[in-house]
Amino acid sequence: MTHKKNRLRVIPLGGLEEIGKNMTVFEYGNDMVVIDAGIMFPDDAHPGVDLILPDYSYILKRVDKLRGIIITHGHEDHTGALPYLLKDLGESVPVLGTRLTLGLIKGKLEEHGINKPKLREIRSGMHVNLGSFGFDFIAVNHSIPDSVAVVIRTSFGNILHTGDFKFDQTPVDGRQTDYQELAKLGKQGLLMLLSDSTNAETPGTTKSESVVGPTLQSIMSEANQRVIIASFASHIHRLQQVCDAAIACGRKVVVTGRSMINNVKIARTLGYLDIDDANIVDAYTAGEIPADKVCVLSTGSQGEPLSALSRMASGEHRAVQIQSGDTVIISASPVPGNEKAVGKVINRLVKLGAEVFHKSFAPVHVSGHAAAEELKLMINLVNPEYFVPVHGESRHLHAHAKCAVTVGVASENIFIMENGECLEISDRGVKISEKVQSGVVYVDGIGVGDVGKHVLKDRHLLAKDGIVTIVFAFDSRTKKVASDIELIMRGVTLADDDVLHSDTRERIRKTLDKVVRDDGVSTEDIERAVRDSVSNMLWDRTRRRPMVVPVVMEVN
């Protein structure tokens, strides 16, 4: 029987059957390392929720084994949970990442009051040891500079975690995926590959990031007024192309949106974004420059309600107001779930007279993820014995598994996993063993983990059917209502109908007459009876079940 200490366990805590909150644990004996710590952004199913974190309680319970956290690149779906994780773990846990990745992380940690994190810079081609694990880092292309794939050296063999990647033959910064190292790894023998599945359903190959620049410059050169470009603030390659196109067209660059301003500053300081001070102007002074000499670089490509572009579309931005004839370019794809929000922003912009370009009309965006043929190329280069598709919804994982089969990976050696499942590697082979605690943690305002399913259910109910509040005093001696019944309806169909209010009050009195016949009836019993009775009545009248909140004040 294999001893537990001689097992290598691979445990995804996030990133499977979803887009975002990527986090994977590698555990062997008394050592544990985490790769990535990301967040997921909420959609309509999460009213009031700001961010969604992976449930990392498995890590917290084994903090004495944690040797470090490795971040593959600087996107928030790989870094965003770090502030919360480090607050729970303490700042002494080392966080490893490339120069730009750490620069972006440091700024985010400072916002959360974490001022002395233990950050350790890595580079492609570098080797580090963390406990019984060895790690090598391989340069890969993505939509942010300094992305790396991670090679995990173990006593059972080598494992490759690709992080997010694509094969870009003409990258903006000239830094290509390191094909030689990948092929070398394949010749050495690769036990297992964990590979990005985001674009597994997309046939062919993903276009080079460099095709976007000429398109942006062409649109900009034909625009007669301001050009406003919305992109992800972390998409530094895209920001560089926007700046290059603006300068070529004789335009000054205006940066707006908190995350955009922060990331531009960090990228320029670290040397990843090249633009002279003379070509960047403050948003509040941009009005003094002719409209055809201005390019606004903005957040809001996902239709976020408080983003700079959304505020422009609503006429609420303090420095930039949309004018008829302005050109707006949305240089990003909507993250699944954000399509409606983006559509609303586009409609508002068009209504204000702007001409809007997005990827449906022009190649103003390309993906940072490998398409099907690139995924096959990765598998062929590294030739893994076992394969685990990661980073994607169920359909992406299954599509990626099919790609692996077509290039020769045995189907019995492919593991399509769920968050929390343990992939156990031992001298007896590889198998999926028990499942550990996993799931989601909601960030709601300053609360972390305070929002549960019951809170979301209540919020959905309030949004859908409204709320009815009933307040009255009850004399426990006479067993009668000792005050007027105050009835407040919000968001309820026919809420302004006097007859409905009158009938509801009468229903409450009849209910009380029945309930108080029993000796020893409590305030809770009265509230429960009133709630059920009013709810049933409103269902009969409106075919809706609003939240009914009775407040009974007992008097003697």
Residues annotated catalytic, as ranges: 196, 369
Q: Which amino acid is at 160?
A: L
Distance CA 336, CA 418 (A): 19
Question: In angstroms, rounded to a whole number, what is the distance separating the alpha carbons of residues 349 and 411?
Answer: 49
Q: What's the 3-state SS for 518-556? A: CCCCCHHHHHHHHHHHHHHHHHHHHCCCCEEEEEEEEEC
CB 552 within 8 A of CB 523: yes
CA pair distance 98, 314, nearest whole angstrom: 38
**Measuring CA to CA, which residue among 296, 252, 298 is closest to residue 278?**
252
Q: What is the DSSP string of 453-491?
A: HHHHHHHHHHHHH-EEEEEEEEETTTTEE-S--EEEEES
User: Is the Cβ–Cβ distance between 161 and 86 less than 8 Å?
Assistant: no
Tokens of 23: 């986090």
Which three-class secondary structure string do you get for 369-416? CCCHHHHHHHHHHHCEEEEEEECECHHHHHHHHHHHHHCCCCHHHECC
Pairing of strands 480-481, 94-97: unpaired
Which residues on neighbouring strands pair with residue 388, listed in sequence order? 194
Task: Please return the burial class of 229, using the count of CB atoms within 10 Å of its CB with bins 0-12, 13-18 and 19+.
Answer: buried
Consecutive H or E run containing 95:
strand 94-97
Name which of 145, 82, 133 is nearest 109 in CA terms. 82
Q: In whole angstroms, what is the distance from residue 469 CA to residue 306 CA?
A: 31
H-helix or E-strand containing 236?
A: helix 236-248
Angle between helical axes of 236-248 and 258-270 (0-180°, round to 10):
90
DSSP string of 112-153, one letter each residue: TT--S-EEEE--TT-EEEETTEEEEEEE-B-SSTT-EEEEEE
Alpha-carbon dihedral sign for residues 146, 150, 153, 157: negative
